[in-house]
Amino acid sequence: MPDPTWSALQKSAAIIPKIGGALSIVACSLLIRDVAMKWKENRSIPFPTLMIFAIAIPTLIQSFFQDFMTTWMVPVDTHQYQAAFLAAGTTASCTFQGFVSLTCIMLAGLYYTELAIVYWGTVRHGWTETKMKQTGFRVAFFLPPVVVSLGLTVPPLFYELYNFSGLSICQFMPYPMDCAWDDEVPCLRGNTEATVIFFYLFVGFGALYNVTIVVF
């Protein structure tokens, strides 16, 4: 493949997110370290703090594999018109980046919603720390986001739907991306129909999950 001339946009998309990713990694690591030290010292940890801890873990992972790694995980042998600046990965690393990033984004988003519910329940209904220490209460808050996220992000793996987005990262889309709108371009990985179906599933389940929590 001929050596492409990289545009300022391609270079910026590959390099600039690394700065924000590095800062996010440091911030999340400090938060996780603080909670871990309290656990080690057998100190009481408020439930909202545990929720923030649950948000920090997927955010840390996503910040590293998506924001910091960016094009390093994109396949080197990508077509020239979708070439990535600093690409150094393989199809496997690209799939891993897309899967992990989407899973972590969904996890963090769902936990953010539940954290809002915790504050609402505390202020509106007087939820106490004693109530929030109950095993059933904690399982009801921590387990569903994991089940929903994995339930939605694992199936696309079997349809080869985690691919290079055309700019800086691998994400949920067919490859090459042109095949999504150009009938003359065949999809080498994934297909448009499966992409649309899973997209609506992501949006639908995400909206349903949030609305259900807020209502009930």
| DSSP H helix total and E strand total for the chain | 6, 2
Name the band, by pLDDT with cuts 50, 70 and 90, for residue 186.
confident
184 by Cβ neighbours in 10 Å (0-12 / 13-18 / 19+) ranks as: exposed
Q: In terms of Cα–Cα distance, which of 151, 178, 153 is closest to 164?
A: 178
Residues in CB range of 86: below 8 A, 6 or more apart:
14, 15, 70, 71, 72
What pLDDT is stored for residue 214 in this prediction?
Answer: 61
* pLDDT, mean over the chain: 88
Average pLDDT over every residue of 179-185: 81
pTM equals 0.89
Name the band, by pLDDT with cuts 50, 70 and 90, for residue 3.
low
**pLDDT tens per residue, range 77-131:** 755 445 688 899 999 999 999 999 999 999 998 998 889 889 889 998 899 999 9
Q: State the Cα–Cα distance between residues 115 and 53, nearest whole angstrom.
A: 11
Each as own residue / partner, the long-range contacts of residues 202-207 (CB below 8 Å, 24 or more positions apart, any chain) are: 202/106, 202/152, 202/172, 205/148, 205/152, 206/106, 206/109, 206/110
**In contact, 94 and 75? CB cutoff 8 Å:** yes
